[in-house]
């Protein structure tokens, strides 16, 4: 890696470390830390790699502090930056590789969300880039054919599948490249590409076994997220607009146009075609699904596709007007660093007085930005043996806030990983603090009274930050759980 690229990567990693250590865990992060208490071959929402990373970090450090659980993901972002540089270097040269890394480091979704937070996308990025680099070497894209790299392609493809299910979309694109590229089709007559596929499948097989042992609940949950018929003809435009905000509009637009150009040229430009095939399914699929589904499409789902377009962006940026290119890079980096710094400062010092009063009660964005640590003191002295929330995201914030002092579960139809780690049936006979939100507290009390020997109101819990009460949580004390709610 060039000196300038190292400077960019190291500076980005240092800034991520600062952000990771000065802001609380978000909803998904809190959920992952609170819901997973032991190593397993898979978990409800995602395959195991991201869960293992945060579990290993907190077991090694002996604590669950934000910096501790986020550290492996920050380091993974540095590895991903290096792999992106190596891939782009092979395909387009050192200057393009530098600008690809700059694009990665100034993109909000790649640099902050995936480069800092406890999410499966961080290790997914690193594994996909490693698989793409190995495949480029094995298939002779951008350089000589190195057949032994098929083993690396298979291994890193398996690692990507163990990180997040949507890795399969990029890997299907890899198969499309091998079939559509005249040079690579010959390789399919050999045994190595097939062995790579077998290796990746074998690595993923424990996840299949876990799903079989748990009633296919993870596969069922993920596959039905696009269920429900509702026509939205303009959904692709709104979805792509949302993805542009996540990636960075002035990064997204040239990447999208470069993808279209690569598709138009076809396999004649082999390097561009290789990246286009890897990227095309995530970029197009979720926008297309949005046309007919009732499910809200999350904009980061397509991020693996844009990740594999960064080398094309690097090549384009290297040839663009230096003054404009450099100014955009500096301004984007400054905006990203300034926004992250402002969030960290507000979390640490509460500079903006009465910020919570700007929003409706319980709706302050600070509830996601800060940890609910004030719950620890308020739980002391209560004769309870477990906590039950009605939603998995509330259970995550509460479970992380009390740092595992009590088991936390979810009463309701969607307990997610809490239903595996802390099933409600394991709390029969115990005293449970029932969280009466969201919804009408009196209705919740009426619905759940039948499951306890007695159910009575208890002093509310409060989420506080710098002296301000951000949220009042109504609770009920349930004595002697008779049977688990359905």
CA distance 110 to 7: 18
pLDDT in tens, 50-95: 999 999 999 999 999 999 999 999 999 999 999 999 999 999 999 9
Confidence (pLDDT) at 226: 63
Compute the half-sphere exposure of residue 403: CA atoms within 13 Å on the CB side of its CA.
13
Kindly tell me if the per-residue pLDDT of 357 is higher than 80. no
For residue 169, what pLDDT band results from cuts at 50, 70 and 90? very high
Confidence (pLDDT) at 204: 98
Confidence (pLDDT) at 351: 78
CA distance 110 to 179: 30
For the ranges 29-33, 126-130, 188-192, 199-203, which has the lowest average pLDDT? 188-192
pLDDT in tens, 135-160: 999 999 999 999 999 999 999 999 99
For residue 227, what pLDDT band results from cuts at 50, 70 and 90? low
Structure-block tokens of residue 55:
């579990």
Kindly tell me if the per-residue pLDDT of 102 is higher than 80. yes
Kindly tell me if the per-residue pLDDT of 444 is higher than 70. yes
Confidence (pLDDT) at 364: 84
3-state DSSP call for residue 424?
helix
For residue 291, what pLDDT band results from cuts at 50, 70 and 90? confident
Kindly tell me if the per-residue pLDDT of 228 is higher than 90. no
Confidence (pLDDT) at 382: 87
The DSSP secondary-structure symbol of 109 reads I
For residue 285, what pLDDT band results from cuts at 50, 70 and 90? very high
Confidence (pLDDT) at 412: 87
More reliable by pLDDT, 293 or 200? 200
pLDDT in tens, 296-321: 778 899 999 999 999 999 999 999 88
Which ranges of 23-65 would DSSP assign to H, the alpha helix? 27-35, 49-61
- Domains of the chain: which residue ranges? 3-330, 366-481
For the ranges 126-140, 163-177, 359-373, 470-484, which has the lowest average pLDDT? 359-373
375 with 402: CB under 8 angstroms? Answer: yes
For the ranges 175-184, 219-228, 259-268, which has the lowest average pLDDT? 219-228
Confidence (pLDDT) at 346: 86
pTM: predicted TM-score of the whole model, two decimal places: 0.94
Kindly tell me if the per-residue pLDDT of 353 is higher than 80. no
Confidence (pLDDT) at 349: 84
Confidence (pLDDT) at 361: 75
For residue 134, what pLDDT band results from cuts at 50, 70 and 90? very high
What's the mean per-residue pLDDT of the chain? Answer: 93
More reliable by pLDDT, 49 or 301? 49
Confidence (pLDDT) at 230: 67
Distant-in-sequence, close-in-space partners of 475: CB < 8 Å, separation ≥ 6: 433, 434, 435, 436, 457, 458, 459, 460, 461
Confidence (pLDDT) at 234: 77
For residue 439, what pLDDT band results from cuts at 50, 70 and 90? confident
19 with 116: CB under 8 angstroms? Answer: yes
- Say what angle helices 49-61 and 66-92 make with each other, to 10 degrees: 130
Confidence (pLDDT) at 2: 87
Helix (H) or strand (E) holding 463: strand 452-465
For the ranges 42-56, 76-90, 107-121, 288-302, which has the lowest average pLDDT? 288-302
């Amino acid at each position: 890696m060039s000196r300038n690229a190292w400077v960019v990567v190291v500076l980005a990693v240092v800034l991520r470390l600062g952000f990771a250590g000065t802001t609380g865990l978000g909803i998904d992060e809190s959920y992952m830390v609170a819901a997973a208490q032991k190593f397993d071959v898979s978990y409800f929402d995602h395959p195991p790699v991201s869960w293992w990373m945060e579990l290993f970090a907190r077991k090694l450090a002996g604590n669950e502090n934000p910096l501790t659980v986020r550290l492996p993901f920050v380091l993974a972002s540095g590895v991903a930056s290096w792999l992106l540089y190596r891939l782009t270097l092979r395909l387009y040269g050192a200057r393009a590789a530098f600008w690809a890394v700059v694009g990665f480091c100034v993109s909000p979704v790649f640099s902050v969300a995936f480069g800092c937070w406890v999410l499966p996308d961080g290790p997914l990025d690193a594994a996909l880039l490693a698989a793409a680099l190995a495949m480029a070497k094995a298939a002779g894209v951008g350089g000589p054919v190195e057949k032994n790299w098929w083993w690396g392609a298979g291994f890193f493809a398996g690692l990507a599948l163990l990180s997040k299910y949507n890795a399969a979309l990029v890997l299907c694109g890899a198969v499309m490249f091998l079939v559509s590229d005249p040079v690579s089709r010959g390789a399919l007559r050999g045994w190595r590409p097939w062995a790579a596929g077998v290796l990746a499948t074998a690595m993923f097989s424990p996840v299949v076994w876990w799903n079989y042992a748990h009633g296919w609940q993870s596969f069922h949950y993920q596959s039905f997220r696009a269920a429900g018929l509702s026509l939205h003809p303009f959904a692709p435009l709104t979805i792509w607009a949302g993805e542009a905000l996540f990636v960075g509009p002035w990064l997204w637009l040239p990447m999208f146009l470069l993808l279209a150009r690569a598709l138009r040229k076809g396999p004649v430009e082999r390097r561009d075609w290789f990246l286009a095939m890897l990227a095309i399914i995530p970029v197009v699929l979720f926008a297309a699904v949005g046309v007919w589904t009732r499910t809200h499409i999350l904009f980061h789902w397509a991020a693996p596709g844009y990740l594999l377009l960064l080398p094309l962006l690097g090549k384009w940026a290297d040839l663009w007007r230096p003054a404009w290119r450099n100014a955009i890079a500096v301004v984007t980096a400054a905006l990203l660093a300034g926004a992250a710094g402002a969030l960290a400062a507000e979390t640490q010092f509460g500079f903006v007085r009465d910020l919570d009063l700007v929003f409706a009660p319980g709706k302050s964005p600070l509830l996601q930005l800060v940890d609910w640590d004030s719950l620890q003191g308020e739980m002391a002295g209560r004769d309870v043996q477990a906590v039950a929330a009605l939603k998995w995201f509330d259970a995550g914030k509460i479970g992380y806030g009390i740092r595992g002092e009590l088991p936390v579960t979810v009463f309701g139809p969607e307990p997610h990983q809490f239903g595996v780690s802390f099933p409600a049936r394991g709390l029969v006979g115990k005293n449970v603090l029932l969280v009466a939100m969201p919804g009408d507290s009196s209705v919740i009390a009426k619905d759940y009274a039948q499951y306890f020997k007695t159910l009575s109101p208890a002093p509310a819990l409060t989420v506080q930050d710098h002296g301000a009460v951000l949220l009042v949580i109504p609770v009920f004390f349930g004595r002697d759980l008779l049977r688990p709610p359905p």
